[in-house]
Each structure stands twice: as C-alpha cells, then as structure tokens.
Structure 1
Amino acid sequence: MFSPSLHIQRHQFVVDFVKRNKPKQVVDLGCGECSLLQKLKFHREIELLVGVDINGAKLSKKKHILAPLSTDYLQPTFKQLCIQLYQGSVTQKDARLRGFDLVTSIELIEHLPLHDLDKFSEVVFGYMAPQTVIISTPNSEFNPLFPGLSGFRHSDHKFEWTRVEFHSWALKACSEYGFKVEFTGVGESPPGEEECFGFCTQIGVFHRLLGKNRHMSGDDVDNHFSYTLLYSINYPSLHDNNILRKAVVSEVLYWVEKLKTEWLTENQEENPVEDCVRERGDHGEIFWTNGDVQECNMLHRHVSVPLHKLWICCPKLSELTDSLRNLVQLIIDDPQIKMNQDRSAVIVCIQKEDLEDDDPNDLMDSGYVEANNMERERWKVDG
C-alpha cells in the first residue's frame, strides 16, 4: 500500500530527526534486526549508538551489519563512534543507558502486555530520562483499509490503539515525568480521508521539559545493571594516535615524492643538477641548494624537502597535526621516513631513473606514483 514501504518510512522519520538535531547518544529499544541502527551508524554526529532487544540470539546473528566498513579504516575521521548491543527487557532498568540524547521505540510497545506499559513509562521517561523519545505504534483506525485484515496486524501484538488511546497514554506519561509531546505519523490515508483514518503508523515525539528531570537517589541510579552486553565496537578514529600517525605518514610520503618529482623536472629542464651551487655539510655530505628544496649527496643522491614546504603544500597536514612540532613528533620514529639532523626536512632518495627520464609522466610506468596515490587514498581524511 505504501511506497516507500512503511518500515522504511518509520526509519526515515528517525534518520531525518537525527539529521536535524544531531544527538550524540542514541539508543534504539527493541532494535530487533538492527536495521535502524545500521542506517544511523552512517550519521557520525552520533558518538554512542546502542541497541537493546530481549532476543539475544537475533542480536548475535545481526551484529555483523554494524561492524565498520573498509572505508571506515581507509578514511578515518576525528569523529568517534562506539556501537553497543545489549540483551535485556525495556521494563528493566540499566544505569548505562541513563541521560541519552535520544531514545527510539519503533513498533515496540504494542508487543508488551498492557500491565507492563506503566513499567515501560517509568523506565524510559523516569529512569533513563533522555532529552527526546520517539515512539511509534500502529493506528488501529487505519486497519479497515487493509484488505482481508481481521484482528491485529501481527500475531504478537497485545493491543493496537486508536489515536485517542495513544494520545491519552502519551499525555499521562508527559504529566508524570515532565515531558511534552508532538503527535504525527507516517503512512498517509487516501486523499480526503485523513481525518477519518489518520496515519497508518502514529508517532509521538516526546521532549523533556527543562528542569523537569525526575529525581533519582544514588542507589536507585547506580545499582541497576540488568542488561547483558553482547557486542561493542569502536570505529577507527583519528583520536587514536596510531591511526593518526599512519594517516600523517601517508600524507608526508605522498607529498615528498610529489615535490621531489616536480623539483627534479624543473631543474633538469632549466638548471641541471650538476650546475647547482655546492656546499659541504658538517658530516661531509654535499648539498645543492635551489629555493625551498635542497639536494644532498651522501652515499647516493637525495632531495631534502623542508617541513615548512610540506606544511604549505599540504593543508591536510595542518588539519591533522596543528603544528610543525606535532608533525615532527608523529613522523620522527617512522622507518619509512628519513629526516635531516635538525629534523627540519624529510630526505628522499633520487633514483637513477629520476635523472634520466625526460618525460616526468614516465614515472607512472613504474607504478610508484599509482601506489602512492592508492596509499594516500587509503588514509585520506574527509575535510
């Protein structure tokens, strides 16, 4: 009857809310197949994403869809994300889920016995005390529009409410726990019959009133750990120093090679290396100076690329490291990078082919540039 399908519309409602309001901590109660969590994990304004379901076997089977993708490792950002799955009942308290920005309960409450609804309200609105709660449930007034439907929409439903019944329950929860609610829904009625049937799925968006947090004693808050943690994964982030170091080294290697190639091309065309001015260093090495780049001859010929040159040419390095001093600390011990004595420049070897090739594009034949580009793409960071 609906395009897109009704469950997609329900999930999209939550996704749109997340886009607008950017909550950092989100928990989905009755997460089931984890399909909503799978959509939300791509919205990296979220730092902690949690799913709770009473069916632990289903969570264990579906947890793999929440694992990081290869692109999360190849393009890490400074944004952090932790995903956790818990087995537990929404009528039980767990201190680890208190104070979240957003709690979602999508097509859940109708699966609870009516006598558990007061406990659900106490746990979600009173104990968890989030900033926002989104609850969806079937609207029984819409059921006559389903051909051949008799009874409830699902065999496990314990009830299905009219709009008045849902509004009454929601307003009671608001009064008891200090929330206000907005009513809406997804799955529109046929044109002209909106008043008669309403939305197929009715939704309440509950906002906690400022200063209206139900008081909990220390014992009541801290001693409830009813859920079992089944899965926890931290996504790769540049806050991890090892990941940051790898990203910085990759950028440095790419830009050093690029600048070396450009400098050699320019000097072979305008001023051969042998004609540059020579200066002898403190340890017997010979330097040829030319602008911002130096060439030195130790056992083999090398090009020295100053760090300040890298800093100017590669804005990504300044974003990643904040200062030249931090840049040095991140690359100084890496075996792929050779630096000069005062740590002001990176030394890169000049291969014989670099001096003999007339066409700088021939460097592509070796696959070296392609490899460096691939390596750089692996650790490319979103601006």
Structure 2
Amino acid sequence: MAGSHSVKSEKLEENEGELGGPMFSPPLYRQRYDVVCDIVRKMEARKVVDMGCASGKLLWHLKWIDCIEELAGVDVDVTQLQGNSHILCPLTTDYLMPRKKPLNICLFEGSIGSADSRLYDWDIVCCVEVIEHLHTGTLALVPHALFHQLQPKVVIVTTPNSEFNILFSNFRDFRHWDHKFEWTRDEFRSWADGIASEFNYSVEYSGVGEGPPGSLDKLGWCTQIAVFTRLHIDSECAQCIEENLQPYRCIKEISHPHQLQTPHTTLQQLNDELTYYCHFLADIDCGTETDEEDAERVTHTVCIRLERLMKFGRIKELCPDLDELRSCIRQTEQFHLSPDGDSVLYTHILMSSSNGWNVDDDDGGESDVVDDYQVDNERRVENWNQTITTSPKETTETWD
C-alpha cells in the first residue's frame, strides 16, 4: 500500500526502566489515553477514529464510554487487527445488561496518509504516538488526507518531546528503534501551527509525563499533545469526499447489544430490573439445583427484602426510596409484596442436577459478587466487567 506505515503492538511496548529515566504514575500510555477519554466525554463525542490502532488498547478504553456509538480503528497491519479484535467484542454481561446506546466498531486496513469517505466528518480522530513512525513521504500526506478530506471536528495528536530525552541516562538516538524522528516543542508547534492555519483549525498544546521538579519550563512534558478544533467545514471538499472514496478494507465489524429503541415506562424498566436482580439474589441464596429425585425442576417462593434490592443502583435510580418501590411493585403483575410489605415474593426455579447444572461453577457468594457490582454504578456491572475482564496486557510502560 502506497504511503502506508506499520505500527505493531510489539513495537510499542517497552520496559519503562530501559531508558533509565523518570518513572510515571499512572504510566505514560495511561495518561495519554486519559487525555483522549476526557476530551471524548467533554464533547460527548459519538464517532471516534483511532489512527494506527495496532493492538486496539485505546479502542478498548474508549468502548466503555457511554456517549460513543461508533468506533473505527485504522492500521496497515492486518495481523494486528485480526489478532487483537477479540478484546473489542461484547462480553456475556453486555448481552445481559446492554448499553443504552448502540456501539458499532469497525477495524480497517488502511494508511493514515489516505482518506476514506466512511470516516468523513467524524467527531474525533486520534493519532496517539503515530506520526513519529511515519516516513517523510507518508507524513507529508497526512495534513491533506486528515484535515482537508476527512475534516473531523477534533484531531488529537501526541508525539514524543525530544527535549525531554536528556533525562534518560540510557538514551540513544530515539526512544524507540522504529521512530523516524522525534521533534522538539518548537518543531512540533511549527508543524501543527502550519496545519491549523492552512486547513481552518485552531490548535491548543499540552502534554503528559512531568519530569523532576523545575524541569517543566525548561524541558516540557515527556509526551507533547496538540488538540486541533475545526473552525468550519469545507463544503466543496464534502462533495468530493462523499463520492465513494473507500481505499480502506474493512477487516472486522463488531456490534454491541443495546437497549430497545422504544422507550420503556418506569414500571416496565423496574419490572425488567426486578426480574434480573431477584433471580440473581435467589441463585445466591438457594443455589440453582434441587436434590429431589425424579424432579426436573422445582419452583418455590423466595422472600427478598426491599432494602436489599435498594442496594442496586439501577433500582434506586428508578425508585429513590422504599415507599416508591413498594408502590411500583404493587402495580406489577409478576411481583407481589410480603404481608408486612418489606419483601418482594419471587418464584424461583431449581433445576435437577441431572441436567448438568453445577452450582460450584457459580462465581461465589453474595458478598463477593455484590461488591463487584458496586451497586451505584450507572451500567450496573461496569465494575464487574472490569473485575472479570482484564485490560489488554499492560504490564510495561508504553512509550509510543
């Protein structure tokens, strides 16, 4: 592919101690990701592109942000795109507790030096530690392809600050063997200012990775960041880019489950939540099997205290207090209150052990699972997802 570049994940991961310089907490790559995620949340971006996505780690962090509905990752390395796509797929819990909004992810084989009409006018394009890997010819194509043809509302570019390298005792040439260059702050600003002026963008500068006390003014940040904001859109270019310009090849499409588009009433939502959580708590209290012989399934009534249900953030969001919860339950057909009004009566089903169910396969008792749920969580199991799903392997500092 003409003008392409390859940014492989094995190229990106380095031991933080190898350069013999400052140690960052959080690690530098996390600080860069946090900057991107903060901007996404602040502007409530719906459509975000990660150029040079490689291992997909930034996309993995972005997919948990509720406002995002479309994510695209672009890289020339098909092996990386195919091999790491699994980390972006929905989990079992995503089907049990779907997002409020749709989330579609597409991974493209393509070069940052060319534009694809499917990514025109997106909210944010991220170029996190990418430009320093580009050959001169490809780098020269980036401004026209990205800022003139694609015209995203915001472009985030991060790159190493070469002035900071003096703090690395083991430093030689560049921070990474695949870097083609590393710019000073003035060089980076000259490049970014020229783009902003030519293509009707404003630009603001910042950075992450602060050195020893007193070094910031003299050396700057370890990673320098430029955030471009579009001032207005070029309508003539819009007509050109929409004419089926699609040089990228879609490698993988991933759709996450989401809630029904037709709004539920509060009562319908509560009925769904009660069904889920009553079943969840009944499994913890009673297990999932019966020891009765010749019985495929046994049903019995379980009393679940309302105070216990109110620990779950989603139920508390729908019914802020016990009195309102009682009132809503009385209006449902599926659930009934106990005579004292302090518990909900739930019909629980136990399956015969001969059906192959194994209670020992459960995740554990209520204390473990409920703690993981973090009951005031907006998505109910966001923290549970984070507990049972480890972030893509991030055991070493990622400089690039």
Same fold (TM over 0.5): yes
| 2:144 corresponding residue in structure 1 | 122
Residue 250 of structure 1, CA deviation: 9.4
Give me the CA root mean square deviation: 3.7
Residue 77 of structure 1, CA deviation: 3.7
| 2:252 corresponding residue in structure 1 | 231
Alignment partners' CA distance in 2, 1:102 and 1:253:
35
Q: Is the 1:178–1:214 contact (alpha carbons within 8 Å) kept by the matching residues of 2?
A: no
1:84 to 87, 101, 106: 106
Where do residues 52-63 of structure 1 align in structure 2 (5 Å cutoff)? 52-63=74-85
Residue 362 of structure 1, CA deviation: 12
Spell out structure 1 runs of 4+ moving beyond 6 A: 345-350, 360-364
Where do residues 238-317 of structure 1 align in structure 2 (5 Å cutoff)? 238-239=259-260, 251=271
Q: Is the 2:335–2:344 contact (alpha carbons within 8 Å) kept by the matching residues of 1?
A: no
Partner letter of residue 6 of structure 1? L
Greater Cα shift, 40-49 or 73-82: 73-82
Q: Is the 2:124–2:153 contact (alpha carbons within 8 Å) kept by the matching residues of 1?
A: yes
1:151-207 residue CA offsets vs partner (Å, 9 max, x unmatched): 011111111101110000001101111001001100112111212210110000000
Alignment partners' CA distance in 1, 2:244 and 2:270:
47
Mark the structure with the bigger radius of gyration: 1
Partner letter of residue 250 of structure 2? L
Q: Is the 1:100–1:131 contact (alpha carbons within 8 Å) kept by the matching residues of 2?
A: yes
Partner letter of residue 221 of structure 1? E
> Does structure 1 residue 26 correspond to structure 2 residue 40?
no
Q: Is the 1:28–1:103 contact (alpha carbons within 8 Å) kept by the matching residues of 2?
A: yes
Where do residues 1-383 of structure 1 align in structure 2 (5 Å cutoff)? 1-209=23-231, 211-213=232-234, 215-216=236-237, 218-239=239-260, 251=271, 367-368=348-349
SS of corresponding position for 1:215: helix
Q: Is the 1:129–1:214 contact (alpha carbons within 8 Å) kept by the matching residues of 2?
A: no
The TM-score, its normalising length taken from structure 1, stands at 0.65
Report percent identity of matched pairs.
Answer: 39
Name the CA shift for 1:382/1:118 in 2 (closer, same or farther; >3 Å).
same
SS of corresponding position for 2:30: helix
Residue 8 of structure 1, CA deviation: 1.1
SS of corresponding position for 2:196: helix
Instruction: Note the residue ranges of structure 2 that are not aligned, 5 or more in a row.
Output: 1-22, 279-313, 319-330, 351-365, 367-372, 381-400
Q: Is the 2:66–2:99 contact (alpha carbons within 8 Å) kept by the matching residues of 1?
A: no
The TM-score, its normalising length taken from structure 2, stands at 0.62
1:208-246 residue CA offsets vs partner (Å, 9 max, x unmatched): 11x3436326354323111111111221112368x98xx
Residue 34 of structure 1, CA deviation: 0.5
Q: Is the 2:100–2:259 contact (alpha carbons within 8 Å) kept by the matching residues of 1?
A: yes
| 2:12 corresponding residue in structure 1 | none
Q: Is the 2:115–2:245 contact (alpha carbons within 8 Å) kept by the matching residues of 1?
A: yes
Residue 70 of structure 1, CA deviation: 2.0
Residue 249 of structure 1, CA deviation: 9.8
Partner letter of residue 251 of structure 1? N
Alignment partners' CA distance in 1, 2:52 and 2:240:
27
Partner letter of residue 258 of structure 2? S
Higher relative contact order (CA 8 A, sep 6+): 2
Residue 117 of structure 1, CA deviation: 1.9
Instruction: Note the residue ranges of structure 1 that are not aligned, 5 or more in a row.
Output: 259-314, 320-344, 351-356
Name the CA shift for 1:166/1:214 in 2 (closer, same or farther; >3 Å).
farther
Alignment partners' CA distance in 1, 2:335 and 2:201:
67
Alignment partners' CA distance in 1, 2:224 and 2:38:
16
Name the CA shift for 1:80/1:143 in 2 (closer, same or farther; >3 Å).
same
Paired positions, count: 282
